[in-house]
Each structure stands twice: as C-alpha cells, then as structure tokens.
C-alpha cells in the first residue's frame, strides 16, 4: 500500500548495452474517498428523513379529515360529571 509517507520525487535509472535512461517523477498520494462517500450517504438519509417529517407535518397532517387525540385514546382527560337539571 502507498501511504502519505511515500510522497516525493523518485529517480529511475535503466542501463543496458545500448545506453542508459534516467527518469525523474513525482509521487503525490491522494486520500481515500470512502469516508466522504459514507458521510454523504448518511447526510442524504438524514435529509430525506427530516424532509419526509416536514412534508407530513406541513402537508399531510393539516389536510386529514377527522381528529385524533392521544388524550382521548388513553382516557387521560378528566371525566365530566353529571349536573342535575332543574325543571
């Protein structure tokens, strides 16, 4: 594996009976893009979840027919007591 410690200038020399060739080249190591891809995917998923929740809250929920109250379902509201009527 090539790491950041391998950055620099390298010289390659080749010799044979015909002659020799010397080549200089620079090695530049770039970072691994995998963490950025994972971060972008997580950001996209969170963005889609938040967008879906906002769409539900602002578009679907106000246009629903009927009402729903957790207080009524769980009977957490105070019960009314009968008041005698005068004749």
**Whole-number Å distance between alpha carbons of 4 and 62:** 56
Q: Which are the contacts of 26, defined by CB distance < 8 A and separation ≥ 6?
A: 8, 9, 10
Predicted structure pTM score: 0.45
For the segment 55-73, what is each residue's pLDDT rounded down to a tens digit?
888 877 766 666 666 666 6
Predicted pLDDT at 84:
79
Mean pLDDT of 4-9: 93
pLDDT at res. 35: 92
Residue ranges with strand state E in the chain: 8-15, 20-27
Which pLDDT value is given to residue 27?
Answer: 94
């Amino acid at each position: 594996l090539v790491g950041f410690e391998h950055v620099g200038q390298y010289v390659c020399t080749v010799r044979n009976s015909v002659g020799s060739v010397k080549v200089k080249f620079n090695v530049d190591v770039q970072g691994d893009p995998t963490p950025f891809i994972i971060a972008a995917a997580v950001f996209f998923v969170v963005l889609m979840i938040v967008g879906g929740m906002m769409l539900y809250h602002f578009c679907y929920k106000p246009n629903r027919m009927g009402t729903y109250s957790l207080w009524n379902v769980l009977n957490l509201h105070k019960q009314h007591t009968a008041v005698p009527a005068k004749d």
